[in-house]
Amino acid sequence: MAQDEEDAIEFAKELLEFLPLNNLAEAPVDQEALDAYETRPKVEPEDEALNELVPDSASAPMT
């Protein structure tokens, strides 16, 4: 928790840095965290089914 209002504002700014600027922009990447993440998780067949939930295009209608 924040100690005061200024601390809360700084926390909110840090949190917002993780979000893209809009729905078409890529999310910011923390290269340091990516470098520390050495292995990729195994993708299971049921995980692949999740690809059907989100359309490839941001302008495509959801079905």
pLDDT digits (tens, 9 = 90+) for 34-59: 777 766 677 788 888 877 777 777 78
What percentage of the chain has pLDDT greater than the value 70? 87
- pTM (2 decimals)? 0.41
CB 20 within 8 A of CB 27: yes
Q: What is the mean pLDDT of the chain?
A: 81
Provide mean pLDDT across the span 24-39: 76
- What counts of helices (H) and strands (E) characterise the chain? 3, 0
Can you read off the two tokens belonging to residue 17?
């840095």
Of residues 21 and 10, more confidence is placed in: 10
CB 35 within 8 A of CB 27: no
Look at residue 33 in the predicted model and tell me its pLDDT.
Answer: 76
Can you read off the two tokens belonging to residue 31?
């290269």
